[in-house]
Structure 1
């Protein structure tokens, strides 16, 4: 069967156009498609009413909870309980109702996309009830603090990916030690780059042992997985590893309640970027990552390390097709069986 480059130019042109269209289709689905289908669905919010609040305020809270709107999931509680729910990110915002007015309570530790939706909905509800609402933000985050968690995840992925791909292309006889040195070096340098950006963007961002250790865990897990896939499939693995970077901003930057169900199940549910982003956001606001946000990267690093350390299979030299050893005599380069002696 003739290779593609031996085909007529018109055939090659059509084939390459089809490949380009398929790549655009896939990337459009996993990047712009996520953003184009964003719609609130069950966004968790709380409405808080004090125990001594007038009956009409309690009626407003009960009416909201019984409204049944698919876009929002309401929880009615006291102000203290509601703020505790917000600190644990079980809700994205709180509307506190009091005789003196309404208060919209937000948190800088919540994913900015969830906070934005919460502020819009809660402010609209207060306005609809004829109340002036003031906004209070717990654990406020600067613009850098809101950007840093997702940016760090993407930068660590890029640092490891470029290093692993270049090593695959340039190393003629890659060894296990060489791969491990590359993983360690790219992790250290990647964390240094991220820490430098944090300091440049906002010197108030914490860079203690917890933050740096978590960045190192994420960077090492990324580098090991990338190195493992590149070892198994060669540079062809870039067809998977490259597009994964494009998923990070579109999927990990959203709360799941804003994603279409298909994207929530097929992309958000497993992408490592959302674990690293939310884990780092918790650390930057004085909290700690959930168990899943740690063990996912421990598991990725362990699997990647096993593949990187697998012994290399030695390739056997191939005999040339159709060549048979006929016992050539080393003295006169003639077949020994046919050598003739002259008198």
Structure 2
């Protein structure tokens, strides 16, 4: 009876926590203070500024400033209004969820002004929209599976070599898959992908070294909850999820960094983030040797001699 009750409660608690950390992100998503820029003559600009709401942050700026803000990803979209015409400009390097909200809101503004509308944006395929988050998740899964098999197969040596080899092969696998979907990377994006893969593989190998198969409790949970957050933009997230999950998840940095580099942008913070993760993983790998190999079945080798079932250190040899 006790076992039945404990297992039932455990299942309910795990389901609640996973729902809270994964599906809860999408269930509570709602736009707030989404930054948008509008370029318009004074009379229209005044009406636009007065039409602000809690969902969007409409900034009335000059044409050059608006394009700079869009290029720097400070706004999700720009609406330029000239006599008789309205134009929406979007940046493909920005999260698609953000650009979708921007286009909907700015279209409404243009229609309210009674102007014909055109959209200027680089065409982005479904595969290109999916690729940054998909690549990040697959790199994590590849390193995690390799690290887990290293434990299950009772690997003892060359864990570092295994991690680096895993990173290279997983990057090759992911880029091949994306190329099949029609997505190709420039040299800098490919280099960034390799850095991400190395950092993930080193961190996972370090955790597996010290925790054994129990590391799956941490790595598996990170995989389940992080992609759900990384696929959103902060202005769509519930403030609690933004602070507790989005602010630190490495999937967010890898997804945003790769998307930026795909469209010839530049990143800086992301290089430092994954360099730091790789360093932590390397320290874990080099921090001492386990006194016994990883055993997936939980059996601990205490050095018992098979012949007489006594510890070898205490075994007495007769003359």
What is the TM-score normalised by the length of structure 1?
0.84
Give the structure 1 partner of residue 22 of structure 2. Answer: 31
Q: 1:125-140 to 2 correspondence within 5 Å?
A: 125-137=109-121, 139-140=122-123
1:311 pairs with 2:291: no
The unaligned stretches of length 5 or more in structure 1 are 1-9, 332-343
Q: 1:60-99 to 2 correspondence within 5 Å?
A: 60-99=44-83
Q: 1:96-115 to 2 correspondence within 5 Å?
A: 96-115=80-99
Choose from 251, 271, 283 the match for 2:229.
Answer: 251
Change (3 A) 1:19 1:200: same
Deviations 1:110-131 (A, max 9, x none): 1000001001111112222222
State the secondary structure of the residue aligned to 2:90: strand
Give the structure 2 partner of residue 330 of structure 1. Answer: 318
Cα distance, 1:317 vs structure 2: 4.9
Tell which deviates more after alignment, 65-74 or 31-40.
65-74
1:41 pairs with 2:21: no
State the secondary structure of the residue aligned to 1:104: strand
Cα distance, 1:190 vs structure 2: 0.8
Change (3 A) 1:328 1:260: closer
Deviations 1:187-215 (A, max 9, x none): 0111011110221111xx44332122111
Cα distance, 1:256 vs structure 2: 0.3
Q: Tell me how far apart the structure 1 counterparts of residues 72 and 8 of structure 2 sit (CA, whole Å).
A: 50
Choose from 132, 156, 164 the match for 2:139.
Answer: 156
Change (3 A) 1:326 1:262: closer
Choose from 230, 244, 257 the match for 1:279.
Answer: 257
Choose from 154, 165, 190 the match for 2:148.
Answer: 165
| More relative contact order, 1 or 2 (CA 8 Å, 6+ apart) | 2
Q: Tell me how far apart the structure 1 counterparts of residues 16 and 150 of structure 2 sit (CA, whole Å).
A: 30
Count of aligned positions = 307
Deviations 1:52-85 (A, max 9, x none): x4xxxx2222233244411111211122321221
Change (3 A) 1:37 1:327: closer
Cα distance, 1:309 vs structure 2: 1.4
**Based on CA coordinates, which of the two structures has the bigger radius of gyration?**
1
Q: 1:171-186 to 2 correspondence within 5 Å?
A: 171=154, 174-175=156-157, 178-186=158-166
Cα pair 2:210 2:290 within 8 Å, conserved: no
Q: Tell me how far apart the structure 2 counterparts of residues 14 and 188 of structure 1 sit (CA, whole Å).
A: 46
Q: Tell me how far apart the structure 2 counterparts of residues 93 and 328 of structure 1 sit (CA, whole Å).
A: 81
State the secondary structure of the residue aligned to 2:35: strand
Give the structure 2 partner of residue 266 of structure 1. Answer: 244
State the secondary structure of the residue aligned to 2:93: coil
Cα pair 1:109 1:141 within 8 Å, conserved: no
Q: Tell me how far apart the structure 2 counterparts of residues 196 and 211 of structure 1 sit (CA, whole Å).
A: 14
Deviations 1:82-110 (A, max 9, x none): 12211111100111111112111112111
Q: Tell me how far apart the structure 1 counterparts of residues 317 and 236 of structure 2 sit (CA, whole Å).
A: 79
Q: Tell me how far apart the structure 1 counterparts of residues 143 and 214 of structure 2 sit (CA, whole Å).
A: 16
The unaligned stretches of length 5 or more in structure 2 are 293-300
Tell which deviates more after alignment, 307-316 or 297-306.
307-316
Q: Tell me how far apart the structure 2 counterparts of residues 258 and 121 of structure 1 sit (CA, whole Å).
A: 14
State the secondary structure of the residue aligned to 1:270: coil
Cα pair 2:86 2:115 within 8 Å, conserved: yes
